[in-house]
Amino acid sequence: MDTHKVGSDTTVIADSLEAPGVGYIPANAFVLTAAEPVVVDTGLSVEDRDFVASLGEVMDPADVRWIWLTHPDRDHTGGIFDLLDAAPHARVITTFVGAGIMTTERPLPMNRVYFLNPGQSLDVGDRTLHAFRPPLFDNPATVGFYDDRTRICFSSDCFGGPMPSVEIAESGHASDLKPEELRGAQLLWATIDSPWVHIVDAEKYRATIAPLREMNPEIVLCTHLPPAVRMTDRMLETIALAPDSDPFVGPDQVALEQLLASFEPGGMAAA
C-alpha cells in the first residue's frame, strides 16, 4: 500500500490486487481534509489489510465526520465497520439501495447513515460536494461526487483500468501510461466492470457523459485508476467508445484446468 497527496488537501490511500492475465487493479480510498473530514470508501475486504491503521498515517480517525461509500462492493467496504468504531462522530453517506445491499452481510447502524442521491449536495463546512451517477458503474447504488473547491471528481469505478505493474497501480499516475495504453486499459475495464454498456442505447449512454464534461474537473480520482491530472477530455473520449468496444470474455474451464496444471509438481510454475 502507498499513501500520497493529490492537490493541497486530498490524500490517496492506494492498494491493488493482481488479476492474472489482466494486470494489477488499483483499489484506492481517499481522504478529503475538509472542515468536516471525509473518507471516500474504506479499502479492500481482505484479512491482511488494516484500513484504519493506514488512515492513521494521514489523520486521526476519530476526527472523521463523513464516510462517503461510493457503493457497497467488497473492494470499497473493507474497513467501514472498524472505522465507524474508531470515528464515533462519523456518518456513512450512501443511498437507500446501498444501505439495503449492506444488510445482506452486516447492516450499517441506521442512526449513522445519511442518504444522499445523485443530483443532491452536501455541505462539509468549507466546500460543497455535488453527488452524481457516473456514466459507467457496476452497482446500482453507485454515487460519485465533485468537490467544487478543489475541482476534483471522485468517480468511483468509472475510468478504471488495470495497470502493468504494482508500482504504477499504487504509486503512479494515469499519465505514466502512453495514451494508447491507457485507452486500452480503460476500455478493457469498461467491458469487464460494466458489461451492460454493450446492450444499451449508445447515444443515451453517451448523453450521460455530458454532465462530467460540464464539470470539467482538473483531477479525476477513481477507485481503480491512479490519479489522473488534467486528462479529463481524453478520458471522456475513451469511455464514449465503450459501447463499440469488444465485449470481455473471460477464461473458461479448459483455461482454468490448464492454469492449475501449470502449478502441479513438474508443471511450468514448478520449473
How does pLDDT run across 10-36, given as a tens digit for each residue?
999 999 999 988 999 999 999 999 999
C-alpha cell at position 2: 502507498
Please report, for residues 59, 195, 229, the alpha-carbon distance to residue 261 in angstroms, rounded to integers and kept in the order given: 47, 30, 43
Neighbours of 84 (CB within 10 A): 20
pTM of the model: 0.94
Q: Looking at residue 267, what is its pLDDT?
A: 54
11: helix, coil or strand? strand
How does pLDDT run across 177-231, given as a tens digit for each residue?
999 999 999 999 999 999 999 999 999 999 999 999 999 999 999 999 999 999 9
Pairing type for strands 10-14 and 128-132 reads unpaired
Domains, the chain, with CATH or none:
2-270 (3.60.15.10)
How does pLDDT run across 143-185, given as a tens digit for each residue?
999 999 999 999 999 999 999 999 999 999 999 999 999 999 9
- The mean pLDDT of 94-115, rounded to a whole number, is 97
Cα first-last separation, the chain: 30
pLDDT of residue 8 exceeding 90: no
Length of the chain (residues): 271
Q: Give the chain's mean pLDDT.
A: 95
CB 132 within 8 A of CB 144: yes
CB 176 within 8 A of CB 168: yes
Please give the Cα distance from 222 to 49 (Å, whole number): 20
